[in-house]
Protein backbone atom coordinates (compact mmCIF):
# COMPACT_ATOMS: atom_id res chain seq x y z
CA UNK A 1 0.00 0.00 0.00
CA UNK A 2 1.39 3.38 -1.00
CA UNK A 3 1.68 6.16 1.56
CA UNK A 4 -0.36 9.29 0.98
CA UNK A 5 1.76 12.43 0.84
CA UNK A 6 0.50 15.66 2.36
CA UNK A 7 0.62 19.02 0.64
CA UNK A 8 3.26 20.17 3.14
CA UNK A 9 5.43 17.08 2.46
CA UNK A 10 5.08 17.69 -1.27
CA UNK A 11 6.17 21.31 -0.86
CA UNK A 12 9.20 20.22 1.22
CA UNK A 13 10.14 17.62 -1.40
CA UNK A 14 9.82 20.23 -4.13
CA UNK A 15 12.09 22.64 -2.21
CA UNK A 16 14.70 19.91 -1.56
CA UNK A 17 14.67 18.97 -5.25
CA UNK A 18 15.12 22.62 -6.21
CA UNK A 19 18.11 22.96 -3.84
CA UNK A 20 19.65 19.74 -5.22
CA UNK A 21 19.18 21.02 -8.78
CA UNK A 22 20.92 24.29 -7.88
CA UNK A 23 23.80 22.39 -6.25
CA UNK A 24 24.10 20.12 -9.28
CA UNK A 25 24.20 23.08 -11.64
CA UNK A 26 26.93 24.76 -9.58
CA UNK A 27 29.08 21.60 -9.32
CA UNK A 28 28.42 19.94 -12.68
CA UNK A 29 31.84 20.78 -14.17
CA UNK A 30 33.59 19.21 -11.18
CA UNK A 31 31.46 16.07 -11.46
CA UNK A 32 32.11 15.95 -15.21
CA UNK A 33 35.87 15.91 -14.58
CA UNK A 34 35.65 13.20 -11.91
CA UNK A 35 32.79 11.00 -13.20
CA UNK A 36 32.45 11.29 -16.99
CA UNK A 37 30.03 8.82 -18.54
CA UNK A 38 28.41 7.94 -15.22
CA UNK A 39 25.00 8.43 -13.68
CA UNK A 40 24.88 10.32 -10.39
CA UNK A 41 22.42 10.44 -7.49
CA UNK A 42 22.24 13.64 -5.42
CA UNK A 43 20.59 13.99 -2.00
CA UNK A 44 20.86 17.00 0.31
CA UNK A 45 23.21 18.79 -2.06
CA UNK A 46 25.74 15.94 -2.07
CA UNK A 47 26.51 13.24 -4.60
CA UNK A 48 25.65 10.01 -2.77
CA UNK A 49 26.14 7.41 -5.52
CA UNK A 50 27.52 6.90 -9.02
CA UNK A 51 27.01 4.08 -11.49
CA UNK A 52 27.61 2.97 -15.06
CA UNK A 53 23.86 3.10 -15.62
CA UNK A 54 20.81 4.71 -14.03
CA UNK A 55 19.78 1.59 -12.12
CA UNK A 56 23.19 1.07 -10.54
CA UNK A 57 23.42 4.65 -9.25
CA UNK A 58 19.77 4.73 -8.15
CA UNK A 59 19.96 1.41 -6.31
CA UNK A 60 23.17 2.43 -4.51
CA UNK A 61 21.49 5.67 -3.40
CA UNK A 62 18.34 3.87 -2.22
CA UNK A 63 20.42 1.40 -0.18
CA UNK A 64 22.08 4.34 1.60
CA UNK A 65 18.91 6.46 1.87
CA UNK A 66 15.88 4.15 1.58
CA UNK A 67 13.38 6.85 2.53
CA UNK A 68 14.68 9.51 0.16
CA UNK A 69 14.18 10.19 -3.54
CA UNK A 70 17.51 11.08 -5.16
CA UNK A 71 17.89 13.61 -7.94
CA UNK A 72 19.33 11.58 -10.83
CA UNK A 73 21.45 12.82 -13.71
CA UNK A 74 23.75 11.52 -16.42
CA UNK A 75 27.20 13.09 -16.65
CA UNK A 76 28.24 13.03 -20.30
CA UNK A 77 31.72 11.98 -21.28
CA UNK A 78 33.75 13.65 -24.00
CA UNK A 79 32.26 12.73 -27.35
CA UNK A 80 28.72 12.19 -26.05
CA UNK A 81 26.12 14.13 -27.94
CA UNK A 82 23.07 15.54 -26.20
CA UNK A 83 19.81 15.50 -28.10
CA UNK A 84 17.42 18.23 -27.05
CA UNK A 85 13.81 17.77 -28.06
**Tell me, what's the pLDDT at 84?**
65
Phi, psi dihedral angles at 77 (to 5 degrees): -100, 165
**Tell me, what's the pLDDT at 85?**
64
Q: pLDDT digit string (tens) for 16-62?
A: 999 999 999 999 999 999 999 999 999 999 999 999 999 999 999 99
51 CB contacts (<8 Å, ≥6 apart)? 38, 39, 57, 58, 59, 60
Amino acid sequence: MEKEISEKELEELDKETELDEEWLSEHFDELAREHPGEHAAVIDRKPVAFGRDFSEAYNKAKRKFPDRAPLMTYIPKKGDELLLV
